Amino acid sequence: MDIVKRDQFIALWKKYFNDAELPVAFYYSKENNNATIVKKAMGHTCIIAQLGRVRKGESLCFLPDSVGCGGGKFYLGFSKSMREGFEYFLSHGENTPHCERYKRTPEQVNAFLKTIHELPRKGDCLVFKRWDHLTEQDEPEAVFFFAPADVISGLFTLAGFDSSKQEAVISPFGAGCTSIIYYPYREQIEGTKRAVLGMFDPSARLCTGSNLLSFAVPISKFMEMIDQMEESFLITNTWKMMQKRM
């Protein structure tokens, strides 16, 4: 990580977003790079809840057995297939005591799962560090924010500032971990560099603040956003008025 760029963003973030929460960066690696290795999961756990520790400043490294959610293992690339019967769990729950009903039919779930491609990764260590804890040895693939509406507004607009596309930001269906990890990582790998608005999964929302959404950005796009902050709408009176109510 370029430490000068890291510190540049911290200063600009403070200047234009006051005391809003800093983003979390993540990447796959063969080493934990001084991040605390999360213990083997005992029973069901949700990575969204566990990432609360990273948002507070602790660096964490997840190994395949650190993830205590079958869906999470699949979306994070630690499992090549979803568990049997998942199409019923996510839909109407045939012979399943608990179902989520996020899709109407099992067929719709299976169609969704076909869109989740296996992505290359550099190792089995999935490292998360808050932006201000990144060091020169870290090579983030993407960043994500947990933020209220006014901050999301700024990030959304900045992501589209240097783009003629109407969809510089996407918001695909998926679990909470897909919106902050899988999709932004995929955007980075595939070079499409779109930001991802998320945390609409009701199950994941139970693990975060009621007024927060997520905004994730592949690192290549995020570096461009940093460079463009001081020529964007952030220097206007409109944004200054927004800042006053943050």
**What is the pLDDT, as a whole number, of residue 71?**
85
- Same domain (yes/no): 88, 51: no
**Whether residues 109 and 67 fall in one domain:** no
The residue-averaged pLDDT of 65-90 equals: 88
Mean per-residue pLDDT for 134-152?
A: 98
Residue 97 has pLDDT above 90, yes or no: no
**pLDDT tens readout for residues 196-223:** 999 999 999 999 999 999 999 999 999 9
Q: Does residue 113 share a domain with residue 7? A: no
CA distances from 238 to 18, 78, 160, 215 (A): 15, 45, 17, 22
The per-residue pLDDT for 1 is 94
CB-based contacts of 55: which residues, under 8 Å, 6+ apart? 21, 24, 130, 146
Q: Are residues 91 and 187 in the same domain?
A: no
Is residue 140 domain-shared with residue 24, that is, in the same domain?
yes
Domain that holds residue 110: 81-117
- Say yes or no: 209 and 172 in one domain: yes
* Whether residues 105 and 210 fall in one domain: no
Secondary structure (H, E, C), the chain: CCHHHHHHHHHHHHHHHCCCCCCEEEEEECCCCCCEECCCCCCCCCHHHHCHHHHCCCCEEECHHHCCCHHHHHHCCCCCCCCCCHHHHCCCCCCCCCCCCCCCCHHHHHHHHCCCCCCCCCCCEEEEEEHHHCCCCCCCCEEEEEECHHHHHHHHHHHCCCCCCCCCEECCCCCHHHHHHHHHHHHHHHCCCCEEEECCCHHHHCCCCCCCEEEEEEHHHHHHHHHHHHHCHHHCHHHHHHHHCC
User: Do 100 and 7 share a structural domain?
Assistant: no
Task: Using pLDDT thresholds of 50, 70 and 90, give the confidence band for residue 25.
Answer: very high
Residues 180, 97 within the same domain: no
Based on the fold, state whether residues 168 and 235 are members of the same structural domain.
yes
* pLDDT tens digit sequence for 120-132: 899 999 999 999 9
Q: Is the pLDDT of residue 95 over 80?
A: no
Looking at the structure, do residues 65 and 91 belong to the same domain, yes or no? no
Is the same domain home to 7 and 129? Answer: yes
Q: How many distinct structural domains can be found in the chain? A: 2
Q: Which of 89, 117, 145 is the last residue of a domain?
A: 117
